[in-house]
Amino acid sequence: MILAAMAFVLALEGPPDDGRTLYMTRCSSCHGDNGQGSALAPPLLGKSASDIHLMLDTGRMPAAVPYANEIHKTPIFTQEQMTAIVAYVQSFTSGPVDSTLPRILPGDVAHGRALFNENCAHCHGAVGNGASVGYDNVAPSLMNATVFQVGEAIRAGPEIMPRFGSDLLSDQDVSDIARYVNYVQTQSDQPRSIDSGGLPLAHIGPVAEGLIAWVFGIGLLVLFIRSIGTKTTEDVKP
Class of domain 103-214: mainly alpha
Helix, coil or strand: residue 139: strand
Cβ-based burial of 141 (10 A; exposed 0-12, middle 13-18, buried ≥19): middle
State pLDDT tens for residues 48-58.
Answer: 999 999 999 99
> Which element (helix H / strand E) includes 184?
helix 171-186
pLDDT score of 6 more than 60: no
pLDDT for 112-170, tens place per residue?
999 999 999 989 988 888 887 777 778 888 999 999 999 999 999 988 899 999 999 99
pTM of the model as a whole: 0.71
pLDDT tens track for 79-109: 999 999 999 999 999 999 999 999 999 999 9
3-state DSSP helix/strand/coil % of the chain, to nearest 5: 50, 5, 50
User: What average pLDDT is seen over the chain?
Assistant: 82
Q: What is the pLDDT of residue 2?
A: 40
- pLDDT for 235: 55
Asked whether the predicted pLDDT for residue 110 surpasses 70, the reply is: yes
Asked if the model's pLDDT at residue 191 lies above 90, the reply is: no
Instruction: Report pLDDT for 9.
Output: 41
Partnered with residue 132 across adjacent β-strands are 138
> Is residue 179 pLDDT above 80, yes or no?
yes
Q: Of 43, 53, 46, which Cα lies nearest the Cα of 153?
A: 53
pLDDT in tens, 7-23: 334 344 455 669 999 99
Q: Could you give phi then psi for residue 78, rounded to 5 degrees?
A: -80, 165
> What is the reported pLDDT for 66?
77
- The domain limits of the chain are 1-101, 103-214
Instruction: Choose the CATH number for 1-101 among 1.10.760.10, 1.10.730.10, 3.40.50.300, 3.20.20.80.
Output: 1.10.760.10
